[in-house]
Amino acid sequence: MNIRTILRRLPALAVTAAIAWTTGCGIETEVTGITADKDISRPDLMHVLAHGANLELSHMHLINYAHFTAAATDEITNGYNSSGSYRRRAVNQYHNRPDWVYSQANESGWVAAYAAERMTDVNEANGTDPSTDPLIAHMRINSALAYQWLAEGQCVACVNWGPEGGELLKGSGDIYDPGNVVDSDSIMTMAITWAEMGGTVAQAAISAGRLNEYEPGFEHFIPENSLYASYAIQAMGYLWLEDYAKADEFAAKVPVDWAWHMYSHEENTWRNRWVYYSNQWALTTVWGSSIGTTFRDVEDPRIPWTVCGEYKEGLTVGGRRRSSSEYDRYTTNPGCQTYNYYGRYRTYDGDLPHYIQRKYSSWDDELVMLSGQEMKLVRAEVALRNGNLGAFTGYINDVRSYHGLDPIDVPATAGALEYPNAEDDAWSILDRESLFTLWLDSRRYANFRRWEHPFWTGGHYKTPDEALDNAGQHRPKYMRADGSLDWCMPLPDGEECNINPLVRETQWCQRLYEPGGG
């Protein structure tokens, strides 16, 4: 795996070095840069090294993770066969895309770890205190985020704790283990460890007065933001581990108006993948998702979308590559012309009407990775689990108030999750508010796994057109064969199953369908 240019903001410097780093079970990563290794020892370039690490993390998020998880959690419908199976929750390996997510999570975690170690060396060599460096705090947060996403998506993964990564929960207990297969809980605990370290450095930076030292105003270099990010990651980590008291404790530390955005300076169409997938190419559509069906008539600023095309009245849903004559076009509706270069009224494959998302309407819109609003939802869930419907309602209304929405009344009962959502009890309300608040932000996949969401367990994950789903679209090439409810992304063939004896014969690499099979 070759990590993309780590210091791509310094084009004048020569390419002279490659720094080998070990990730996971014997996978070698090369951190190749456009700068000499000696220059990565200059204090004035450490913030540029941080930008390079940021790009690794954003690249992991941008390479389909956002739309894969949104399709699997009923936030969007894929209208293109390369990812259509994600809408059915049968996670495949078409074009090796799960490999991209898996490998990039490892890469971004390790690049941030390397950057923090190099920054520590540079601080010490120049007589400054690394324990108060805001950049190091930020790099710890990047590692934590990478492993949080890995835990949320995988049932198991092959990871390497590495320098300062915390003791292994499973296995020998050594601090450094070059090849260890661990479960989601262990990976999430690793994320918590990195978040704790980031929070410690961020707090020290604040106490030392190093508040806006690098690129004034840039959110990721401000230690207060790293501290809030540390709290948010720990809150979600402890929620995952079912330590609800700690989840509530850390979520309470984050203000509702705070957010940590995905960072990218890349001047191309990767920098906001939702604009690329939805607005420009119509590879995804709101049609058929819960937003476009159950909540079609809801007006809420958190879920903006527009109809750009619709099936003609009386048309029976079904079939492939529909004729343009079978659609009514509404491409002059607000938002339908934004980056929609071809005035698309149907999805790219021609099958589905194009309902365009408008939450992210510009290439420059930064995707939300962590937020105080999600922390309110964490607290609401904890209150609900504790039977405190009054507190639950208060946290829900904090989020609604932030968006200028009317408060809800205290629900009569806790109830249970259901699909479609009936909105008639506390669990249904939590599900709805989670959907609206976190829409398209890659934050619902973890909830669906934890909750064993009925969208998955009830078999509702097929597209609304079941005949099209069964007959027309590609069957998944690979998927988990054990039938458990712990729904996970598969281990990739190219980087684990084909080469790693630790997992090759396990259920995580079993094939249910052979390539080309029906």
CA distance 163 to 110: 10
Note the residue count of the chain.
518
CA distance 291 to 303: 8
- Cβ atoms of residues 350 and 257 within 8 Å: no
**CA atoms within a 13 Å half-sphere pointing along the CA-CB vector of 164:** 18
- Residue 83 neighbours by CB distance under 10 Å: 21
- Cβ atoms of residues 340 and 282 within 8 Å: yes
How is residue 466 written in tokens? Answer: 């079941």
CA distance 23 to 295: 43
182: β partners: 157
3-state secondary structure (DSSP) of residue 408: coil
CA distance 269 to 275: 8
Whole-prediction pTM value?
Answer: 0.85
CA distance 476 to 512: 9
Over its length of 518 residues, how does the chain's per-residue pLDDT go in tens digits?
Answer: 333 333 333 322 222 222 333 333 433 333 444 455 666 788 989 998 998 888 888 876 665 677 778 877 889 887 654 444 444 334 443 334 456 678 788 888 888 988 999 999 999 999 999 999 999 999 999 999 999 999 998 888 887 655 444 444 334 444 434 457 888 888 899 899 999 999 999 999 999 999 988 888 889 899 999 999 999 999 999 999 999 999 999 999 999 999 999 876 555 555 677 888 888 888 888 988 899 999 999 999 999 999 999 989 877 665 556 788 889 999 889 888 766 666 788 888 777 889 999 999 888 888 899 999 999 999 999 999 999 999 999 999 999 999 999 999 999 999 999 999 999 999 999 999 999 999 999 899 999 989 988 887 776 654 444 444 443 333 333 333 333 334 677 677 766 777 777 777 776 675 443 333 33
3-state secondary structure (DSSP) of residue 181: strand
CA distance 251 to 64: 28
How is residue 491 written in tokens? Answer: 């281990």
331 CB-near residues (< 8 Å, 6+ apart): 308, 309, 337, 340, 343, 344, 345
At position 58, the amino acid (one-letter code) is S
- Cβ atoms of residues 89 and 356 within 8 Å: no
Element (H, E) at 369: strand 368-371
Domains along the chain with CATH numbers: 40-261 (1.25.40), 273-365 (no CATH), 370-451 (no CATH)
- For residue 489, give the nearest of 77, 66, 79, 93 by alpha carbon: 93
